[in-house]
Structure 1
Amino acid sequence: MDVSTGSLFLIAILIAASAFFSVAELAVAASRRLRLRQMLAQGEFRAGQVLAVQDQPGDYFTVIQIGQNTVAILGGIVGEGAFSPLIRPWLSSLPITAERADTVSVLVSFVVVTSLFILLSDLCPKRLGMNAPEQVAIRVVGPMRLFLLLFKPIVWFFSRLTDRLFRLFGLPDRRDDAITPDDILAMAQAGADAGVLAAPEHRVIENVIELDTRMVTSAMTARDSVIHFLLDDTEALIKARVAQFPHSTYLVCEGDIDHVLGYVDSKHLLNRALNNQPIDLRAEGLISKVLSVPDRLTLSEMLSQFRHAQEDFAVIVNEYSLVVGIITINDVMSTVMGSLVASLDEEQIVQRDANSWLIDGVTPIQDVLRALDLDRLPHEDEYETLAGFLMVMLRRIPRRTDSVSWGGFRFEVMDVDNFRIDQVMVTREADQAVPAPA
């Protein structure tokens, strides 16, 4: 084997070594702990070794840096003239001096070797490590453990020195692997974009995460829509109301809705009717004690209240002890399941075309933001519904045809019933409109 062939062979070995260290570094760093835990549960013991490296990465990356720097130094020594003997004969046929031919051959050799290192030991391995990090990491962790043993004294020295520097500057010595709600939403969005997660399933995940931020008022039946009985209501009136508004439970109040006595179950009323017993709300045992909760609870806290009280129905009151609405466990679950369970009649947001939506005034602002693909609306801490947004922006009770423009959208009040905003038409501004499909 001549000098030129030996140099080329050594360059190939150095490129392979550098590629190995590059892919080993990036694959372990990019590996997802959740995926590694799944692989470990399926019997892949090497995934546990990768997790151990991620928990204590100092020694592992020290070995990689030692290897990469050693390869870089050797590559610089060997690579400078590795291709010169192959290039010089070709240059000798050109009308240039021998001295210049030597200079050009060395320069070309340097460019070729550097290009090979960049392509084969950096770009390609790192792309592989990014595209399949877990699969690559479990294959390189074994050989890397051998390097750890071989370079243990050097690794110990540099690792301890690095630890001291980190403590000196107050830097974190471990990565934070805590998964936040934003991380879950980002993963769900990535799954939806990749087609792995269906749109309704993606929406359910978003709704579950939002249970900790959505208030009970966003899912309740507002007081104006609450069907309730008064203690002195006649049997005929009760039967007529049940027939007109069939529900499983009804509030029972004394005088007005703000003086709640409890609730009555419709099945108890049905039993009395089937047994030819008079329906009298004063009858003993007919009215049950109702769960009352403040209007500042989140939906997640509301579920806890239902679980602890073993109830599925509650009255929501404000700081003045006035009833603002009622909520059932079905209301909470409907918020989670969204369009999977809601009928067309219950939809609060109806998209008319690519540039307009008809939205109920009591629609929670989170749903409005999602439907319009907006990140935020102004003064979000001052309201919870679309009607509240319009009131805050107008600084008065909106009237029909009132409108607000913000964020490229126009919000126009279409219907107001006794100061309650029933319907709002939302349209894109002309300069933001999406062209209709041809």
Structure 2
Amino acid sequence: MSLLTASVFLLLLLALSAFVSGAEIAIAAARKIKLQIIAKEGEVRALDVLHMQENPGGFITVVQVVLNAVAISAGAIGESAISPYFQLVVKNEAVSSVISFVLITSLFSLLADLMPRRLAMSNAEAFAVRLVRPMMALTFIFKPVIWVFDGAANMLFKFFGISTIRQDDITPEDIYAVMDAGAEAGVLKKQEHHLIENIFEMQERTVTSVMNPREHIVYFDTKMSTEQIVETMIEQPHNKFLVCHDDDLEHIIGYVESRSFLALVLNKQEVSLTDKSLIKPALFVPDTLSLFEVLEMFKSTGADFAVIVNEYGLVVGVITLRDVMSIVMGELVTLEEQPIVQRTDNSWLIDGMTPIEDVVRALDIVNLPRNQNYETISGFMMYMLRKIPKKTDSIEYANYRFEIIATDNLKITQMLVTRLDETG
């Protein structure tokens, strides 16, 4: 075989190998969601790519058969047509064969394997759409070969109980990874990233993580006088107040809206907390519900206020729609007093009742030990100290120092958290 003929054959084999290598990577790497979008825009070839991804047996068989056949053919042509020319120079048959082999292998590795694959990876969906039809034609040509090899492979997989079905289920972790990549690339703003992250977090956080706890609930007894009620409403302004029998939170009869009550008082009408037209029924929810479930319950009932009850039937707190939305909106919601205040680059003042999820995010800590046992930073301190905390108690964890700087009886009211690796 002449050098010209060998060169033509090698170029044809090079082109075939480059096409198959590029098509293999493009079709395998093309993202299902993006292909579906392209198909909806009218590109029917995207549906062919999706079909090939769902049934990859024939496609993979063609790739392997063609690439192996090309490699063997290129080696044979190189050995027979090119090696003699090197032998004239080096005067040694073995050395000339090695040089010929290295040259052909390097040429095919670079031009028919590495470069086409990298090029196809750079824009997998676009290349997959363009190359899928020629690949389908190649698959049709090699159908008998595919039937033999693919059938044999399927029998072996079935014998060993191995599933070859492509799994395209999207998990929350996949979405988090996409969001992180989008934030790093500047596609998502920081606020948008936090907003989406908070929405997913609602399914994991329970109502107790953001509730107003029992000891902070302001409520009225049915026997309280109008003057006492008005005075309480002025001192502690809220939109809604629970109403109880016998000054007992376990005997809630409903709630009263401060606006409606004060309107009656200003009109100098007779007002009584036993008036059924004034008292509205309260919504009770278990403390095991997630924030997402509570939001759905608010939506279905039209309520924006709920009483949280534990497994023993005891009231543990209350939650409002505003509390839930403050978690969703995160930093976009302006609170009267921030529970986490950064003093310097390495220190934070944190309210003792701050949900542990907010602390982890603010400090960028990967995880806290046994975090299912507590919901606030106070609970974390009690768990780590293994005692009732007192002022000046401190612990060190994950390169942070957690120090209690203020307490109210048995409750932690404020903590100072300092990063240690920067303070040296």
Short-chain TM bin: over 0.9
The aligned amino acid for 1:342 is: T
What SS does structure 1 have at the residue aligned with 2:107?
helix
Q: Closer, same or farther in 2 for the Cα pair 1:272/1:395, shift >3 Å?
A: same
Q: How far did residue 247 of structure 1 move?
A: 2.4
Deviation per CA, 1:382-426, whole angstroms, max 9, x where unpaired? 111111110011111111111111111111112112322122211
Matched-pair contact (CA < 8 Å) for 1:228–1:250 = yes
Q: How far did residue 179 of structure 1 move?
A: 0.9
- 1:33 aligns to what? 32
1:298 is aligned to 2:290: yes
Moved more, 251-260 or 185-194: 251-260
Q: How far did residue 274 of structure 1 move?
A: 4.3
What SS does structure 2 have at the residue aligned with 1:80?
helix
1:267 is aligned to 2:267: no
Q: How far did residue 85 of structure 1 move?
A: 5.8
1:417 is aligned to 2:408: yes
Q: For 1:235-254, what aligned pairs fall within 5 Å after superposition?
A: 235-254=226-245
Identity rate, percent: 46
The aligned amino acid for 1:26 is: I
1:363 is aligned to 2:354: yes
1:69 is aligned to 2:68: yes
Q: How far did residue 290 of structure 1 move?
A: 0.5
Q: Closer, same or farther in 2 for the Cα pair 1:137/1:258, shift >3 Å?
A: same
Q: How many residues align?
A: 423
1:217 is aligned to 2:216: no
How far apart, CA to CA, are the structure 2 residues paired with 1:190 and 1:281?
56
TM normalised by structure 2 equals 0.94
Matched-pair contact (CA < 8 Å) for 1:4–1:85 = no
- 1:226 aligns to what? 217
Q: For 1:153-192, what aligned pairs fall within 5 Å after superposition?
A: 153-192=144-183
- 1:128 aligns to what? 119
The aligned amino acid for 1:433 is: E
Deviation per CA, 1:214-236, whole angstroms, max 9, x where unpaired? 11011211122222222222222
Deviation per CA, 1:112-164, whole angstroms, max 9, x where unpaired? 21111111222222222322111111111111111121111211222222211
Q: How far did residue 271 of structure 1 move?
A: 3.1
Deviation per CA, 1:173-214, whole angstroms, max 9, x where unpaired? 211111111111111111111111111111122111122211
Q: How far did residue 434 of structure 1 move?
A: 7.6
- 1:95 aligns to what? none
Matched-pair contact (CA < 8 Å) for 2:399–2:419 = yes
Matched-pair contact (CA < 8 Å) for 1:354–1:434 = no
Deviation per CA, 1:344-392, whole angstroms, max 9, x where unpaired? x343222223322222222222222222222211122211111111001
Matched-pair contact (CA < 8 Å) for 1:82–1:109 = no
Q: For 1:94-133, what aligned pairs fall within 5 Å after superposition?
A: 98=91, 100=92, 102-133=93-124
- 1:322 aligns to what? 314
Unaligned runs of 5+ residues in structure 1 are 93-97
- 2:422 aligns to what? 433
The aligned amino acid for 1:57 is: P
How far apart, CA to CA, are the structure 1 residues paired with 2:422 and 2:401?
11
How far apart, CA to CA, are the structure 2 residues paired with 1:50 and 1:34?
12
Matched-pair contact (CA < 8 Å) for 1:231–1:282 = yes
What SS does structure 1 have at the residue aligned with 2:308?
strand
Q: For 1:141-160, what aligned pairs fall within 5 Å after superposition?
A: 141-160=132-151
- 1:58 aligns to what? 57
Matched-pair contact (CA < 8 Å) for 1:81–1:109 = no
The aligned amino acid for 2:40 is: A
Matched-pair contact (CA < 8 Å) for 1:23–1:126 = yes
The aligned amino acid for 2:117 is: K
- 2:391 aligns to what? 400
Q: For 1:346-361, what aligned pairs fall within 5 Å after superposition?
A: 346-361=337-352
Matched-pair contact (CA < 8 Å) for 1:79–1:110 = yes
Q: Closer, same or farther in 2 for the Cα pair 1:252/1:87, shift >3 Å?
A: same
Q: How far did residue 304 of structure 1 move?
A: 2.8
- 1:337 aligns to what? 329
Unaligned runs of 5+ residues in structure 2 are none
The aligned amino acid for 2:232 is: R
TM normalised by structure 1 equals 0.91
The aligned amino acid for 2:407 is: V
The aligned amino acid for 2:378 is: A
Q: Closer, same or farther in 2 for the Cα pair 1:79/1:422, shift >3 Å?
A: farther
How far apart, CA to CA, are the structure 2 residues paired with 1:247 and 1:166?
66
Q: How far did residue 87 of structure 1 move?
A: 4.5
